[in-house]
Amino acid sequence: MARIGVEGTLTDVKEALKEKGHEVIDLHSEEDTGQCDCCVISGQDKNVMGMSTASIAGPVINADGYNAEDVCQMVEQKLG
C-alpha cells in the first residue's frame, strides 16, 4: 500500500488509513513530505508547516469539511 503523510490534527484520518493498510507518516516538517506518495492536510492553514512551495510530486488532499471515510476514498482515487 501507499505511504501517506497526514497532518497531526487528523487522528481519525490516520486511523482510517491504517485500517485500510496504508503506511501513515506524521507531517511535522517539509522534509516529511518527500517520503510520501500522497499528503493529507487539515486545510486550516493554507501555508502548512511554513511551506510556501510544493515539495511533493504526489497529490495533496485538503480534508477540511470531510469525514475520515471520505478522505480515504479521495486518497485511493488519487493513487488509483
Q: What ranges in 1-80 are assigned the alpha helix state H?
A: 11-19, 30-33, 68-79
pLDDT at 2 over 60: yes
Q: How many CB atoms lie within 10 A of CB 11?
A: 10
Average pLDDT over residues 22-51: 80
Q: What is the pLDDT of residue 47?
A: 53
Average pLDDT over residues 17-39: 90
Q: What is the pLDDT of residue 54?
A: 55
pLDDT at 55 over 70: no
Strands 23-27 and 60-62: unpaired
Q: What is the pLDDT of residue 52?
A: 47
